[in-house]
């Protein structure tokens, strides 16, 4: 994978879809997906949501961005790009309550950790029971 600096953005092609990685020094801080890499990186710079010094990118693939975020857990990925990635912990034999919007993340965690879980939606909440 080739690494670029901010001054290289002008050399990028227009309308190039990609999954991109932003670094502060050697630390990966953000992973994103876009239909136009050049435009999106310029948007990050002008919005000044967080700084980055180096970036790289790969061809856009379905669901690739989310798998990479879950694996690397960059500090600026999360809700509105500002909160750290949330890890879910479920104790075996215990019931836990979450927001319904977190269901897909919990199901993903259960699959990756090979947990057996039961999920019920009651009164606008997600009840999760981990069997093992």
* Per-residue pLDDT, 108: 75
- 62 with 105, same domain? no
86 in a structural domain:
no
Please tell me the distance from the alpha carbon of residue 15 to that of residue 85, in angstroms, as a whole number: 29
- 45 with 103, same domain? no
88 in a structural domain:
no
- 118 with 61, same domain? no
- 19 with 77, same domain? yes
- 70 with 124, same domain? no
This prediction has a pTM of 0.56
- 10 with 49, same domain? yes
Q: What domain range includes position 68? A: 4-81
23 in a structural domain:
yes
Chain center to CA of 27: 15
31 in a structural domain:
yes
Give me the number of domains the chain comprises.
2
* Per-residue pLDDT, 81: 40
- 59 with 26, same domain? yes
* Per-residue pLDDT, 38: 92
- 62 with 17, same domain? yes
Number of helices (H) and strands (E) in the chain: give both, helices first.
3, 7
* Per-residue pLDDT, 20: 92
Low-confidence ranges of the chain (pLDDT < 50): 79-85
């Amino acid at each position: 994978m080739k690494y670029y600096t901010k001054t290289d953005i002008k050399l990028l092609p227009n309308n190039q879809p990609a999954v991109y990685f932003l670094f502060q020094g050697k630390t990966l801080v953000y992973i994103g997906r876009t239909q136009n890499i050049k435009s999106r990186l310029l948007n990050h710079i002008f919005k000044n949501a967080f700084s980055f010094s180096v970036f790289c990118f790969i061809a856009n693939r379905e669901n690739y961005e989310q798998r990479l975020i879950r694996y690397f857990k960059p500090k600026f990925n999360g809700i509105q790009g500002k909160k750290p990635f949330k890890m879910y912990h479920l104790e075996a034999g215990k019931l836990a309550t979450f927001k319904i919007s977190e269901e897909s993340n919990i199901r993903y965690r259960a699959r990756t950790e090979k947990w057996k879980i039961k999920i019920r939606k009651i009164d606008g909440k997600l009840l999760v029971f981990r069997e093992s």
